[in-house]
Amino acid sequence: MDYLPIFMNIKGQPCLIVGGGAVAARKADLFIKAGAKVTVIAPLLKEEMQRHLQLGKIEWIEAGFDRELMCALPKPKLVISATDEQAVNEAVYEYCRQQQIEVNVADQTEYCDFILPAIIEREPMTVAVSTGGRSPVLARVMKARLESLLPQGLSAVTDLVGRYRNAVKKTLQDAENRKRFWEKLLDSTFIDKASRLESSGEAEAILQQKLQAARLEEQDGLNEVGEVYLIGAGPGDPELMTFKALRLLQQADVVVYDRLVSTEILDMARREAERIYVGKKDKWHRVPQSRINRMLLELAQQGKKVARLKGGDPYIFGRGAEEVELLAEHGIDFQVVPGITAAAGCTAYADFPLTHRDYAHSVSFVTGHQKEGDQAIDYARLAQSGDTMVFYMGVKNAAEIQQGLLAHGVSPQMPAAIIERGTRLDQKVTVVTLAELAGTIRRQKIQPPALLVIGEVVTVREKLHALKRQALERQAKRADIERSDRQEEPWTRLAV
Percent of the chain with pLDDT over 70: 94
Active site residue 280: yes
Phi then psi dihedrals of residue 433, to 5 deg:
-95, 165
142 annotated ligand-binding residue: no
Does an H or E element contain 217, and which? Answer: helix 200-220
- pLDDT for 18 equals 96
Per-residue model confidence as pLDDT tens digits over 305-346:
999 999 999 999 989 999 999 999 998 989 999 999 999 999
- pLDDT for 283 equals 52
- pLDDT for 494 equals 44
Catalytic residue among 280, 351, 378, 428: 280
**Between residues 412 and 448, which one has the greater pLDDT?**
412
313 annotated ligand-binding residue: yes
342 annotated ligand-binding residue: yes
> Average pLDDT in the 458-469 region?
94
Beta-carbon count within 10 A of 51 CB: 14
E strand residue ranges, 213-270: 227-232, 254-257
* Global pTM exceeds 0.85: no
Per-residue model confidence as pLDDT tens digits over 165-180:
999 999 998 887 888 7
158 annotated ligand-binding residue: no
Cα(477)–Cα(222) distance, integer angstroms:
76
CA distances to 213, 232, 251 from 307, rounded to whole Å, are 22, 10, 9
DSSP 8-state secondary structure symbol assigned to residue 367: E
> Average pLDDT in the 157-170 region?
89
C-beta contacts of 54-59 below 8 A and 24+ residues apart? 57/28, 57/32, 58/17, 58/28, 58/32
Asked if pLDDT for residue 486 goes beyond 80, the answer is no
Which among 311, 300, 268, 264 has a CA at the least distance from the CA of 422?
311
Cβ–Cβ < 8 Å for 308, 229: yes
Which among 293, 337, 335, 291 has a CA at the least distance from the CA of 313?
337
35 annotated ligand-binding residue: no
404 annotated ligand-binding residue: no
E strand residue ranges, 380-482: 388-392, 415-420, 428-433, 450-454
316 annotated ligand-binding residue: yes
Over its C-alpha atoms, the chain yields an Rg (Å, rounded) of 31
E strand residue ranges, 101-150: 102-105, 118-122, 125-129
Cβ–Cβ < 8 Å for 312, 242: no
401 annotated ligand-binding residue: no
43 annotated ligand-binding residue: yes
Q: Which of 137-146, 150-159, 317-326 has the lowest mean pLDDT?
A: 150-159
- pLDDT for 31 equals 95
E strand residue ranges, 321-414: 333-337, 363-367, 388-392
- pLDDT for 337 equals 95
- pLDDT for 95 equals 95
Q: Sign of dihedral through CA atoms 197, 202, 208, 214?
A: negative
300 annotated ligand-binding residue: no
Cβ–Cβ < 8 Å for 225, 300: yes
- pLDDT for 496 equals 37
355 annotated ligand-binding residue: no
Cα(385)–Cα(404) distance, integer angstroms:
14
Cα(291)–Cα(366) distance, integer angstroms:
26
Provide the pLDDT confidence category of residue 223 given band limits of 50, 70 and 90.
low
Mean pLDDT of the chain: 88
Per-residue model confidence as pLDDT tens digits over 75-120:
999 999 999 999 999 999 999 999 999 999 998 989 999 988 888 8
Catalytic residue among 29, 192, 237, 258: 258
Give every CB contact of residue 302 below 8 A, 6+ residues apart in sequence: 223, 226
